[in-house]
């Protein structure tokens, strides 16, 4: 019996991964092995296709905190190099994409760097493509979906140049794997992309536009951005500008909640410098979301 699970849909990888972790908080040395016919690479995961392209872009787009393409192509085109290696020596041990090196890790603190670290390829038995992906950490319900779509895109590029591949054996390894359904996959919230003057323009309008932007900030993220909150507080405290802000926003309780959220964000940021996973982080994130909910409720006048 094959050690690889045969699949007919990439969605099956997500389900297998989630069932492997089950009710555990996380799993160390997580491993999933699947095999599939090469034709499956023609079926994209449409809901994450554009996001996967953004992660593969050679330059990190503004809507992401960090992407993979800027690391894959740091020196030359890493995918082209894999194809060249496989053409010259099918079983090469150098048909590999290494996203980061030691220089990226040392002194990085909590700065975003790829969890997707290695993608290696080999052609065995003349027509079977073996692919191994290694992650230092992996969220399997949402983020893995994007990673699978990235891998699909890369395999499709390889197949374009090496036509006789008809089977793929994919081995996914993660040092730590976990499930967090509402995680934000390193996408920057729209509010955080706005310059201070644009934020002021929103504060002058009915609160519904601000509410929409705040709703987006409720998703869990490993990257804490709170400058936009600080900009809002500064505009509310600016005596020359305060009269122009909508009265539904210029309430003492609103300003206090923004200050509370900034304080909690700084606390989360501080905890993350000491630990990547802890009950303190989970507790603070719940507190953060509760405060955001309270703030949105106040802005809606939902008493």
What average pLDDT does range 299-303 have in this prediction?
A: 72
| Cα 56 → chain centroid | 12
Question: What is the domain partition of the chain in residue ranges?
Answer: 5-178, 190-299
CATH class for the domain made up of 5-178: alpha beta
When the pLDDT of each residue in the chain is averaged and rounded to a whole number, the result is 92
- Per residue in 55-66, pLDDT (tens digit) is 999 999 999 999
Model confidence, pTM: 0.86
Of 271 and 227, more confident:
227
């Amino acid at each position: 019996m094959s050690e690889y699970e045969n699949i007919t849909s990439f969605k099956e990888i997500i389900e297998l991964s989630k069932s492997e972790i089950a009710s555990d908080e996380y799993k160390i040395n997580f491993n999933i092995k699947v095999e599939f016919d090469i034709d499956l690479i023609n079926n994209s995961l449409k809901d994450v296709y554009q996001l996967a392209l953004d992660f593969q872009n050679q330059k990190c787009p503004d809507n992401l905190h960090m992407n993979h393409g800027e690391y894959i192509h740091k020196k030359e085109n890493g995918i082209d190099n894999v194809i060249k290696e496989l053409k010259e020596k099918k079983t090469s041990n150098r048909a590999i994409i290494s996203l980061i090196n030691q220089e990226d890790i040392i002194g990085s603190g909590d700065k975003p760097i790829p969890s997707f670290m290695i993608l290696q390829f080999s052609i065995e038995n003349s027509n079977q493509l073996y692919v191994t992906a290694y992650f230092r950490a992996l969220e399997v319900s949402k983020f893995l979906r994007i990673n699978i779509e990235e891998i699909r895109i890369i395999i499709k590029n390889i197949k374009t140049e090496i036509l006789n591949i008809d089977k793929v054996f994919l081995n996914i390894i993660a040092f730590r794997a976990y499930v967090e359904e509402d995680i934000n996959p390193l996408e920057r919230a729209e509010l955080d992309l706005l310059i201070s003057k644009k934020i002021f323009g929103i504060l002058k309008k009915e609160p519904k536009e601000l509410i929409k932007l705040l709703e987006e900030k409720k998703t869990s993220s490993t990257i804490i951005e709170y400058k936009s909150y600080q900009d809002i507080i500064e505009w509310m405290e600016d005596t020359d500008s305060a009269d122009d802000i909508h009265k539904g926003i210029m309430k003492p309780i609103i300003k206090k909640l923004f200050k509370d959220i900034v304080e909690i964000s700084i606390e989360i940021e501080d905890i993350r410098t000491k630990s990547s996973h802890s009950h303190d982080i989970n507790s603070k994130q719940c507190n953060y979301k509760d405060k955001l909910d309270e703030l949105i409720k106040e802005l809606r006048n939902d008493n």
